[in-house]
C-alpha cells in the first residue's frame, strides 16, 4: 500500500476565482533561448534570506557558471555568472522590487564567447549519493524556488523528519503566465529526473506532480515522461483550473484534503512542495554540474509585439527581454513584474530579471482593470466568499484602515497569501491587498523594534550590573586598605601581591606603549593635537549658541547613570 494510493480523490479549497486565463498568445510557440545581453545586472539578493557575499573583483574575467557571490548564511543562495565576460562593477542599481529602490548588484559585461567556466563534476549516480551531498550541490548551484517565491531550495530539502510526500507544483494558476507550461512540454524528462532526485534527497516515499487541467499538452508530456522513467510512487495529477490552486497551501488542500496550520509549514504535515522549474534546475545541476544561470520566463501582454516564453539569462534587463520579443507596441501602458494578480508595477525597464521572475507583463491601456477611485466598503461580503485562505478580508480591511494592526494580526493577517481574489471581486474596487501589505509591514517593523528594544534593555542591564560590581570591588579594596593602613611594604606585601599583580599587568602595556608613539609617531601626535584644537574651537562656537544649554543638561544625567 503506497502513499499515493489513498490520494485518489481531489478536494477543493474555499473561495478562489476563474479569471480569464489569457495564456493563449504566449504558450503557442516553443520557448526561444535568448543569447546573453551585452550587459547583465546581478543583484546580490535575488532570494529569500541573507544577501550573497561577492567573491569576484571588478575587472575580473569569469566563465559562464563560475561563482560570483557565495551563499552567506544558512538561508541564502549563491550567484553564478550567467555568461562569460568581465565583472565591471559592484554598485547599487535599481532592482525588480515594488519599492523601486536600488540594491547592490554585480555588473557583468558579456564577451561574445559565452563559454562555460570550470564546473563541478556531474554526480554520476545520484541514486546512491548521500542526501547531504545532493543538498550541498543544490546549495552550491544557487537554486531557489523558481515559482516566484525564490526560497533557497537546499533549506527546504533539509526537512526533518523526512516527509511522506513531495508535491511538485506545475499548476501555474495565475493568468498570463505560461513558462512552466512550456517547460513541462519541452523538458518533461528533465523535470521527472529532478523530481526523482528531490524525492531521493528528501527521503520522501512518494511524489505527486500537480498540473491544472487547462494544460493538456503539458499533462500528456509529463505523463509520458513518468511512464518512460518507470518510477514507482510517482504520479501526474490533473487538478481543476481555479485561481489560486497553485498556492502552496491551496494545492495541498486540493491534493490531500489537509490544511496547513496557521503560521505553520507544510513540513508539519510531512509534505514538501517544489516548483517544476526548480526540479528541472536541480536535474541540470546534479547531472551536468551546471548551476542556475538561466530560466524560462513569459513575456506577454498587449503591449509587446510577439508574446512568447523565452529562456533568458538571469540578470537580463527587462528592456532586453521586451526587445527580444519584438519590442513594445503602441498599446503598451503598464509594465508588471510577475502576473496580473500578484505582480507589481515596474517604474523602469532597466531592472534585471531575477531568479524568481516568471513573467514580464506589458499590459495595454484597457487590458487590466485600471485602479478606479475606491468607493466605501458596503459590507457585501463578496471578499469573504472569494478568500482562498478562509480569512475575513473585510474585517482585516477595517482594522488595517483604522491602523489597528494588532487586531488584524489576531484575525490571521499573516495567513493572507496576497492572491488578490478579494480585491478582484470587490464592487467598491478597494485596494484590499495594499492594505494587507501595509499592515504586515507595520507589524513586522513593530516586531523588529520590539526585538531591538529588548536587546538594548538587556545590554543596558548588563552594563549597569557590571558597573555596580566594579564599584563594589573598588569600595571593598578601599575598605581593606583603611582597615590595614600599615604602609610597611613587608606587612602589605603578601596581601597586596594578588591585588597588585593584575594592576602591574594592566600598567605594563601602557608603559611599554607610551614611549613608542612619542618616538615614532610625532606627526601623528601633531595631528591629534590639531584635531583637538579644531574640536575645541568648534565647541567654543557651539557654547556661544543658545542650544548649548540642552546638551550640557544631558551630560550630568549621563554621569548619574554611570554613578
Partner 1 sequence: MLVAIVALTLLAGLSGLLLGYAAVRFRVEGDPLADKIDAVLPQTQCGQCGFAGCRPYAEAIAAGAADIDRCPPGGQAGVEALAALLGVEPKPLDTAHGVEKPPQLAVIDETQCIGCTLCIQACPVDAIVGAAKHMHTVIAQECTGCELCVAPCPVDCIHMVPIATTPANWAWPAPRAA
Residue 462 makes contact with partner 1 by CB under 8 A: yes
Q: Residue 372: which residues within 8 A CB-CB, separation 6 or more?
A: 429
Residue 469 makes contact with partner 1 by CB under 8 A: no
Instruction: Please tell me whether 380 is known to bind a ligand.
Output: yes
DSSP label at 89? E
CB 461, min distance to partner 1, A: 8
What is the C-alpha to C-alpha distance for residues 274 and 198, in angstroms, rounded to an integer? 9
- Of 31 and 433, nearer to partner 1 (C-beta) is 433
Instruction: Please tell me whether 387 is known to bind a ligand.
Output: yes
Instruction: Please tell me whether 359 is known to bind a ligand.
Output: no
Out of 113, 115, 228, 375, the residue judged to bind partner 1 by CB under 8 A: 375
Nearest Cα neighbor of 71 from 165, 143, 134, 176 is: 143
- Of 498 and 552, nearer to partner 1 (C-beta) is 552
What is the C-alpha to C-alpha distance for residues 287 and 233, in angstroms, rounded to an integer? 22
Using CB atoms within 10 A of its CB, is residue 443 exposed (0-12), middle (13-18) or buried (19+)?
middle
| Rounded (10°) CA dihedral 481, 482, 487, 491 | -60
Total of chain residues touching partner 1, rule CB under 8 A: 56
Residue 557 makes contact with partner 1 by CB under 8 A: yes
Q: Which residues within the stretch 380-439 sit at the binding site for partner 1 (CB under 8 A)?
A: 401, 428, 430-431, 434-435, 437-438
Q: Which among 123-131, 151-159, 328-336, 445-453 is the span making contact with partner 1, rule CB under 8 A? A: 445-453
Instruction: Please tell me whether 325 is known to bind a ligand.
Output: no
Instruction: Please tell me whether 422 is known to bind a ligand.
Output: yes
Q: Which among 147-155, 379-387, 468-476, 546-554 is the span making contact with partner 1, rule CB under 8 A? A: 546-554
What is the C-alpha to C-alpha distance for residues 19 and 40, in angstroms, rounded to an integer? 35
What does the angle CA 415 – CA 417 – CA 420 come to, to the nearest 5 degrees? 130
- Of 124 and 528, nearer to partner 1 (C-beta) is 528
Question: Within 13 Å of residue 184, how many CA atoms lie on the same side as its CB?
Answer: 29
DSSP label at 361? E
- Of 445 and 486, nearer to partner 1 (C-beta) is 445
Nearest Cα neighbor of 26 from 320, 298, 295 is: 298
Cis (ω within 30 of 0) for the bond into 143? no
Out of 445, 465, 508, 543, the residue judged to bind partner 1 by CB under 8 A: 445
CB 471, min distance to partner 1, A: 14
Contact (Cβ atoms closer than 8 angstroms) between residue 142 and residue 80: yes
Alpha helical stretches, state H, 341-431:
382-386, 393-401, 405-410, 421-425
Q: Which residues within the stretch 50-109 sit at the binding site for partner 1 (CB under 8 A)?
A: 95, 97-99, 101, 103
Out of 158, 377, 411, 496, the residue judged to bind partner 1 by CB under 8 A: 377
Applying CB under 8 A, the residues found at the interface with partner 1 are 45, 95, 97-99, 101, 103, 374-377, 401, 428, 430-431, 434-435, 437-438, 440-442, 444-445, 449, 452-457, 459-460, 462-464, 510, 513, 517, 528, 531-532, 534-535, 538, 550-551, 553-555, 557-558, 560-563
Annotated binding site for [4Fe-4S] cluster: 377, 380, 383, 387, 416, 419, 422, 426
Amino acid at each position: 500500500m503506497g502513499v499515493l494510493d489513498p490520494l485518489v480523490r481531489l478536494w477543493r479549497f474555499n473561495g478562489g476565482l476563474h479569471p480569464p486565463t489569457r495564456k493563449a498568445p504566449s504558450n503557442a510557440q516553443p520557448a526561444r533561448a535568448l543569447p546573453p545581453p551585452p550587459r547583465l545586472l546581478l543583484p546580490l539578493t535575488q532570494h529569500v534570506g541573507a544577501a550573497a557575499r561577492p567573491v569576484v573583483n571588478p575587472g575580473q574575467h569569469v566563465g559562464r557558471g563560475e561563482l560570483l557571490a557565495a551563499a552567506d548564511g544558512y538561508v541564502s543562495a549563491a550567484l553564478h555568472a550567467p555568461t562569460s565576460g568581465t565583472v565591471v562593477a559592484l554598485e547599487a542599481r535599481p532592482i525588480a522590487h515594488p519599492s523601486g529602490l536600488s540594491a547592490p548588484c554585480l555588473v557583468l559585461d558579456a564577451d561574445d564567447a559565452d563559454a562555460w567556466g570550470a564546473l563541478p563534476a556531474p554526480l554520476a549516480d545520484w541514486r546512491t549519493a548521500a542526501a547531504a551531498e545532493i543538498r550541498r550541490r543544490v546549495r552550491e548551484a544557487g537554486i531557489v524556488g523558481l515559482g516566484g517565491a525564490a526560497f533557497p531550495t537546499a533549506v527546504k530539502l533539509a526537512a526533518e523528519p523526512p516527509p511522506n510526500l513531495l508535491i511538485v507544483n506545475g499548476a501555474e494558476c495565475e493568468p498570463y503566465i505560461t513558462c512552466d507550461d512550456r517547460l513541462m512540454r519541452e523538458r518533461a524528462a528533465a523535470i521527472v529526473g529532478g523530481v526523482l532526485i528531490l524525492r531521493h534527497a528528501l527521503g520522501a516515499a512518494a511524489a505527486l506532480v500537480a498540473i491544472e487541467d487547462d494544460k493538456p499538452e503539458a499533462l500528456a508530456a509529463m505523463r509520458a515522461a513518468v511512464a518512460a522513467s518507470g518510477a514507482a510512487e510517482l504520479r501526474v495529477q490533473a487538478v481543476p483550473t481555479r485561481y489560486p490552486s497553485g498556492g502552496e497551501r491551496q494545492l495541498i488542500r486540493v491534493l490531500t484534503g489537509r490544511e496547513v496550520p496557521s503560521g505553520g509549514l507544510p513540513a508539519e504535515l510531512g509534505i514538501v512542495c517544489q516548483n517544476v522549474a526548480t526540479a528541472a534546475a536541480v536535474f541540470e545541476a546534479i547531472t551536468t554540474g551546471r548551476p542556475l544561470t538561466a530560466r524560462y520566463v513569459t513575456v506577454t501582454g498587449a503591449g509587446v509585439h510577439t508574446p512568447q516564453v523565452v529562456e533568458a539569462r538571469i540578470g537580463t534587463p527587462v528592456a532586453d527581454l521586451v526587445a527580444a520579443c519584438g519590442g513594445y507596441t503602441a498599446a503598451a501602458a503598464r509594465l508588471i513584474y510577475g502576473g496580473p494578480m500578484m505582480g507589481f508595477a515596474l517604474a523602469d525597464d532597466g531592472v534585471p530579471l531575477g531568479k524568481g521572475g516568471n513573467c514580464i507583463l506589458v499590459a495595454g491601456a484597457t487590458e487590466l482593470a485600471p485602479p478606479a477611485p475606491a468607493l466605501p466598503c458596503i459590507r457585501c461580503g463578496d471578499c469573504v466568499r472569494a478568500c482562498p485562505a478562509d480569512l475575513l478580508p473585510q474585517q482585516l480591511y477595517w482594522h488595517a484602515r483604522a491602523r489597528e494592526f494588532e487586531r488584524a494580526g489576531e484575525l490571521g493577517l499573516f495567513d493572507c497569501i496576497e492572491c488578490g481574489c478579494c480585491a478582484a471581486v470587490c464592487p467598491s474596487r478597494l485596494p484590499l491587498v495594499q492594505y494587507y501589505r501595509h499592515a504586515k509591514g507595520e507589524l513586522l517593523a513593530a516586531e523588529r523594534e520590539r526585538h531591538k528594544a529588548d536587546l538594548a534593555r538587556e545590554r543596558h542591564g548588563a552594563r549597569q550590573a557590571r558597573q555596580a560590581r566594579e564599584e563594589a570591588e573598588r569600595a571593598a579594596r578601599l575598605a581593606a586598605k583603611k582597615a590595614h593602613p600599615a604602609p610597611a611594604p613587608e606587612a602589605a606585601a603578601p596581601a597586596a601581591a594578588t591585588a597588585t599583580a593584575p594592576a602591574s599587568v594592566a600598567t605594563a602595556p601602557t608603559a611599554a606603549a607610551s614611549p613608542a608613539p612619542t618616538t615614532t609617531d610625532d606627526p601623528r601626535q601633531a595631528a591629534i593635537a590639531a584635531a583637538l584644537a579644531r574640536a575645541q574651537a568648534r565647541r567654543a562656537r557651539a557654547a556661544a549658541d543658545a542650544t548649548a544649554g540642552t546638551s550640557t543638561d544631558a551630560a550630568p544625567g549621563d554621569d548619574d547613570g554611570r554613578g
